[in-house]
A and B are shown apart, each in its own frame.
Chain A
């Protein structure tokens, strides 16, 4: 009887310990993913897409390529007279290496705009973000789903559904990436599902 009791106790304690460790592991993951800079995020409500075709249909341009500059603070405007002033965003040059949709060719460079800007506040780089996506950096390769803004002559990323890492192989899936590697601050199952569809649909060789 004592033996049985000891075994039961051991099993229950190990289940308790494992269960509590789950939370600890989650905390460690969050710590590892924490960016070096300070991020102040706005809350964003945006149109969602259930599948890749739905997303491609609303975009002017779907391209693969590389940023040739870091994102730089820009003022965007509401109308062609440059008035009224709209808001602060960041813009980066992007060289196209593959065209999935749109009237551009390989080797073209376009301007891409994302809703964030960086300011140095008391010695700390602070990202003011309204996009829920990580900043645009020189040398980074991405697949972008974009909409053209004629007034500001730039392409806007189609919110959180519009930015994906270039898959290394056909086996890459969203599960294998952290949120930051996926170009976002938070994990999002719906976006991950679109990325998996993207990997399956296109030959990346």
Chain B
């Protein structure tokens, strides 16, 4: 009788192990952020310098100050300052933001740079980022609210600077809208799709905490 009970326990344990193993496989997409750190540090204290080319009638300092919406989520992430560049001001120590007139539907890009100033892969340890924003007013004007769309794009790019990736598309837990979670890190023009958030959502915050603690 005792032997029978022991066998039952072993079978139950194996069933639990099998289910756990399968669950782990199904949720492997949760790595929605890149590896690598900032200066080999476990913290990211970011300062942004907004260059002249990045300032337009839509891309204002108010838009760029939306970067601070990443504050207060992780103790190890802090957007220290967002400063407008003035002539003669040194750029070292800053993450520079430039404007570029893209005609292909690009809203913004983020490129990572190493200590030696060369562009590096998003998975590498980085020293600074360069963000470009589409300075063609027409592109943000396609959104119901151009300023909010520009704020979403800059917050999205700062999310990349904090190593967050675009969420995966598929039938994953929490991906309830056309296979996407509600998130600022989704690609697209704010106001045109229901899954686009203007500020960091619960999904974004969860990934940021996972990455930076």
Contacts and interface: CB of A to CB of B under 8 A. Distances in A.
B188 interface: yes
B18 A157 contact: no
A40 B106 contact: no
Question: Taking chain A's interface residues, is the majority helix, strand, or loop, or is none over half, making it mixed?
Answer: mixed
A19 B22 contact: yes
B107 A40 contact: no
A45 interface: yes
Interface in B1-59: 4, 7, 10-11, 14-15, 17-18, 21-22, 25, 28, 53
Question: Taking chain B's interface residues, is the majority helix, strand, or loop, or is none over half, making it mixed?
Answer: mixed
Contacts of B109: 42-45, 115, 130
A23 B25 CA distance: 7
A50 B25 CA distance: 29
A154 B53 CA distance: 22
A8 B18 CA distance: 12
A47 B107 contact: yes
B105 A16 contact: no
Interface string A34-56: 00000111111111101000000
Contact of B21 (A16, A157, A158): A16
B119 interface: yes
Among the interface residues A1, A9, A19, A162, which one has the most CB atoms of the partner chain B within 10 A?
Answer: A19
B21 A147 contact: no
A58 interface: yes
B67 interface: no
Interface in B87-117: 100-112
B154 to A, nearest CB: 10
Contact of A43 (B7, B101, B122, B169): B122
Contact of A190 (B11, B104, B153, B169): B169
B25 A22 contact: yes
Given A19-B21, A20-B21, A42 B110 contact: yes
Contacts of B105: 46-47, 58, 147, 158-159, 161
Nearest to B34: A43
B104 A162 contact: yes
A9 B21 CA distance: 15
Given A40-B121, A189-B170, A115 B106 contact: yes
B122 A147 contact: no
Contacts of B17: 12, 16
Q: When A and B form their complex, which 10 residue pairs have the shortest distance between CB atoms, in order from nearest?
A: A156-B104, A43-B160, A47-B105, A42-B111, A48-B188, A189-B169, A43-B110, A45-B107, A42-B109, A12-B14
22 contacts: A5-B7, A15-B22, A20-B21, A20-B25, A22-B25, A42-B110, A43-B109, A45-B106, A45-B109, A45-B188, A47-B105, A48-B189, A48-B193, A58-B105, A78-B53, A87-B132, A115-B104, A130-B109, A149-B103, A158-B105, A159-B104, A189-B170
Interface of A: 1, 5, 8-9, 12, 15-16, 19-20, 22-23, 39-48, 50, 58, 78, 84, 86-87, 115, 128, 130, 147-149, 156-159, 161-162, 188-190
